Structure 1
Amino acid sequence: MERDEGRGWEVQLGGLLREVRRQASCEAGPGVGELLGWLHRQTGLDAAVIAEDAVTVESSTADFPRRVLAPLAGMVARLSDGHLAAAATQAEALHVRCEALGPRRPRAVLVVASRAEPTAQTVALTSHTGSVLTLLRHAEAGDRNRRNYQDKARQLRFAVLHGLLAGGPLLARRMTTGAVPPLLDAERLRIHLLRCPSADRDEITQTHQDPSGYQGTALMVHCPVFKEHLICLIAEDDGHSGDGGSSGGSARNRGRALGEVLHRLVRDNPRYALGVSDVQPLHATAEAYTQATHALAAARTTADRVAYHHGQTSLTGILPPQPALAWARAFLRPLDSAPKNSADITRLAITMPRSGVARLLGLSRNTVTAHLRRAQQALGQDLADVRSRADVHLALTLTSSCPPAEPGPQRHPALADLLSTESAAAWAQTILRPLQDRHRRTLQTWIDANADAQQAAHRLDISRNTVRAHLRSAEAALGLDLLTTSTGTHDVVHALRIAAARAI
């Protein structure tokens, strides 16, 4: 008889170990409720875990009699605060046993109840189950802490990127509160913009993450606007401070290797694509990001799904500086009367969808629309019109890196005059030259239809899908993003406007 009981005890312990092993391999993580259910099936006990506050039922079997908890409140509190390790009593005509889980106070408490007095073997199995629960809860807490760390690391990397885009390296350093990434000691960088399934971004980022939460001299940032984009900033020089020891060399090597890794990922995954910027100074990170978005648009139609920025001269680079700046300041001056938040949101909404701005800032889409309405009323521009947006974007670009204007009245030319120069005509011709005639016709009709593919299809008597296919081909030929961030659309608007005026 004792041999049979021993064999049964071994079977139960073996079952407990198998349950632990099963839960350890479960992708969803350890389940306290499942282990309580296992204990119920083995012993007939109903069980519950009371949280560290000694009140809340964290998990329980389906038929656990919660009425017993009220008379047990004092005992559970003493177990939770460490005055007791285990206790047994009777309540509501039930045999109840309580056991504290773990050494740290306050502690969760395992409570089991049954109508019949439990056997010594049942008590022992309950105690073993409590020990396993403690380990599972510690593992769950460890997983939770790891997830929290990854979330904070991701947020910090985005803060560094935002600082570089908004104010340059000094602002980015201030936002790290002393945990300065090695990237900020570089003089130059290149941005690789990876398009991949959003679910893959965490795995890619964490695979190459160092203990500080960065990627050596690189930085991998989840784009908050476009869920399929992973923004990779990679240092392009050895201009790092410090003693140049092995840790610094390791960080540099990790940063250099990341570019090769990204190319390999694209080669091995048909759903991936990669756009790569020119090398830019650290303070020109915003320009590098714009270049990478244009390159990514072109990469979608290339055989290897990788493209580098073409390096076209921007329109702002060929306009006469002082007259262009005078026009831009006069054009944007009415925006000074709008609330600052409205002006700042407008700057973002010119280069990304409203829904993206809402996600980036944690606002509702209706709130973003309300801010844009105030801004367009101040400017006297229809920000839903693609040509108006192009003009606002040009003005914002011209003024973004310039000091404030001197007080007093200033003469300024009209935009049409700025775009009527020979250099502007040559720029437009360079922009549009790669287009096939049918793609240029589709592009012109699409702009005339206010960038509405359905309307353009109706006017051209072709399908909407054909219009989008022509636009994708135009993106590849021009090296400009037209359909994702739409930043390239602004250049196309101006190029087509100049071409129409000059009959190019």
Structure 2
Amino acid sequence: MEARAHTGRLDELLHEVRRQMSRGSGADPRPVLDWLGRQIDADVALVGGAGAVETCTARFPRRILPSLEPTLARLSGGQMAAVATESGALQVRLEALGPHAPRPVLVVAGASAPSREAASLVSHAGSLIALLDRARGADTTFRGYQYKARQLRFAVFSALLAGDLTLARRMTTGAVPALLDAERLRVYLLHCPPEDRDRLAQTYQDGSGYHGTGLMVHCPAFKEHLICLVADGSADGSGDEFADEAGGRFDAEPDAEPDAEPDADPHGRADDPETAHGQGAVLRRLVRDNSHYALGISSPYPLGATAEAYGQALHALAAARHTPERVAAYLGRTPLMPLLPHPEADTWARALLRPLESTPRATLDITRLAVTFPRSAVARLLDISRNTVSHHLSRVEATLGLDLGDVRTRAALDLAFGLTGGQPDGGFCAEGGSGPEGGFGPGGGFASGGGFGAEHGRPVPTLEELFRTGPAHAWAREFLRPLRDTRGRDLHTTLRAWIDANTDAQRTARHLGLSRNTVRAHLRAAEHLLGRDLLTTGSGIHDLVHALHITGLHPAV
């Protein structure tokens, strides 16, 4: 009878352990101590290796611990395994737990010495607490490993964004990700609930903390984004692969033709050269099976052009959210920059940015991000405060005499940075004016004409002069062409008013006599038609600004 009761008690103890292991929130010895205290009519404490009480039952007499310090030290150090002693009127049993010093110690205090059965329960409970402690330690180690792996993946992505493949390899010496051996990659940008990102990254993670020949990277700026870098054909021809939950591999995907352009599906559906296998298929299946997911896919790019691929994926994701499949590939429109007259555009950009030639690199990097993304997103991306971002931007505003709060100013600066490769001091000469030239007035607006400075003896063109060229005009017409058939909604008027209102939807609504919700609905429709992100990250606004500016210079359009 007693044996059956003892077995029943142990079953209760094991049930508590199973309950803790199944909930996945970390091991907690307190319920075990409470259970043990009820079973043997005593109070129980768990004393850590440093001598402090980690947890205890509600009425445990902490006053007895100072007199037990020498014994606790010997038990914790491994000189003894268990001790029975007295402290005043209390009978105390101390038992060291675990194999490694400093060991935690289980302290049981009661009015009478524990019986043989009670002592057995104490030992069993102690063993299970030790297991829980080791499980807790393993959980801590696992979480630490996952955090470090996640940070390393982001560091590799950051190096690729900067086009620095050497840095990406150096920071992963000894465990270089297979992605870095690929000639090209695509960026798959997955929109999902923030709490799903850890689960997805861990599900497909391999033993090195990577994802086969790909990388899944948590975007720190936008919590709903999981950035997936996918090799578009590795150096050894093995293609890309994700590890599945069982440690297996999905089959490789065939390479696309190197110069193939993505199909321009009028609905923005993804039609990249993927088969039913590989990482792309895994991500599309996730979108198909989860109604809150969406996926944007870039064209294939060399690893050194990861930033361009990421920008394409952002635009594709904006389009994907408005399609039934919630998956879209970048439409592959020609960008504006290569269509501008090269010598004149280069002269304009360098003249505009010349005052920044002595600006610290950190300030320039922050400015390049802040002309495209919201300041709060830049702060999260760089793990700095929003005030720090504002401080750097204020310095640039003062140097250039411009207002970075104006969307047209940001669009022009982004264009100038793109034309110069983000290096305002590259090739600048010492002579020439030091203020912002090339088409900006003192208030940060565009000059209507003239405004020439000197650059190697040549006049500095204005931005309007660059935009009056035939190729720029054709680009703007093609960019805005999808807005022509909008079923009665004048999206073009809404977009122009929105830019005139500095992208303030409320001001736009008042100007047009519409509701704010209607304005935002028009903007979402324009996102889908133009294939540009206007509302989430705002990364597509600059193309819209330039297209409207160019068509405004050609009123016949």
Match in the other structure for 1:302: 323
Percentage identity across paired residues of the two chains: 54
On the 8 A contact 1:182/1:240 being kept in 2, the answer is no
**What displacement does 1:69 show?**
1.0
Aligned equivalents of 1:233, 1:340: Cα separation in 2: 27
Output the CA distance in 1 between the equivalents of 2:492 and 2:363.
35
CA 117–251 in structure 1, closer or farther in 2 if over 3 Å, else same: closer
1:398-409 equivalent positions in 2, closer than 5 A? 398-400=419-421, 404-405=426-427, 407-409=429-431
Q: For 1:148-206, what per-residue CA distance to the aligned partner results, in whole angstroms no more than 9, with x for missing partners?
A: 11111111111110010013322211221331101100001111111011111111111
Q: Which amino acid aligns with 1:322?
A: P
Alignment correspondent of 1:395: 416
Residues 1:34 and 2:34 are matched in the alignment: no
Q: Which residue of 1 aligns with 2:339?
A: 318
* Alignment-derived partner of residue 482 in structure 2: 434
Residue 254 of structure 1 and its aligned partner are, at CA, apart by 6.2
1:17 Cα deviation after fit: 1.9
Equivalent position amino acid for 1:466 in 2: T
The amino acid of 1:404's aligned partner reads: G
Q: 1:306-455 alignment to 2 at 5 Å?
A: 306-400=327-421, 404-405=426-427, 407-409=429-431, 410=455, 411=458, 412-435=460-483, 436=486, 438-455=490-507
For 2:146 and 2:252, the matched residues in 1 are separated by 19
DSSP 3-state at the match of 2:490: helix
For 2:398 and 2:83, how far apart are their aligned partners in 1? 72
What are the Cα deviations for residues 301-322 of structure 1, in whole angstroms up to 9, with x where unaligned?
1111111101111111111122
* TM superposition shift of 1:117: 2.2
Secondary structure (helix, strand or coil) at the match of 1:275 reads: strand
- Return the match for 2:214 from 212, 218, 221: 218
Decide whether aligned partners of structure 1 residues 316 and 291 sit closer, same or farther in structure 2, where only a CA change above 3 A counts: same
Residues 217, 251 of structure 1: 8 Å contact kept: no
Counterpart residue number, 1:486: 538
Q: Which residue of 225, 240, 257 corresponds with 2:236? A: 240
Which residue does 2:121 correspond to in 1?
A: 125
Relative to the length of structure 2, the TM-score reads 0.86
- Following superposition, the deviation at residue 406 of structure 1 comes to 5.1
> How many residues matched?
495
Q: Distance between the aligned counterparts of 2:42 and 2:346, measured in 1?
A: 80
Q: After superposition, what is the alpha-carbon deviation per residue over 1:35-90, rounded to whole angstroms, capped at 9, x for unaligned?
A: 1111112122211111121x221111111111111111111111111111111111
1:57 aligned onto 2:53: yes
Superposition deviation, residue 241 in structure 1: 8.9
Moved more, 114-123 or 311-320: 114-123
For 2:150, the equivalent position in structure 1 comes to 154
Gaps of 5+ in 2: 254-276, 432-454
- 2: CA distance between counterparts of 1:94 and 1:153? 50
1:253, 1:163 → 2: CA distance?
28
Match of 1:192 in 2: 188
- The alpha carbon displacement at 1:215 in A equals 0.9
Counterpart pick for 1:467 among 506, 519, 523:
519
Residue aligning to 1:109: 105
Q: Distance between the aligned counterparts of 1:224 and 1:172, measured in 2?
A: 19
Structure-2 residue corresponding to 1:89: 85
Equivalent positions of 1:252-291 (< 5 A) are: 253=251, 257-291=278-312
Query: Is the CA contact 1:216–1:252 (under 8 Å) kept in the aligned structure 2?
Result: no
Q: CA RMSD in A?
A: 2.0
Contact 1:216 1:254 in 2 (8 A): no
Q: Give the superposition deviation at 1:332.
A: 1.2
Residue-by-residue CA offset, 1:288-311 (whole Å, 9 max, x unaligned): 000000000001111111111011
- Deviation per CA, 1:8-46, whole angstroms, max 9, x where unpaired? 322222222222222222232321111111111212221
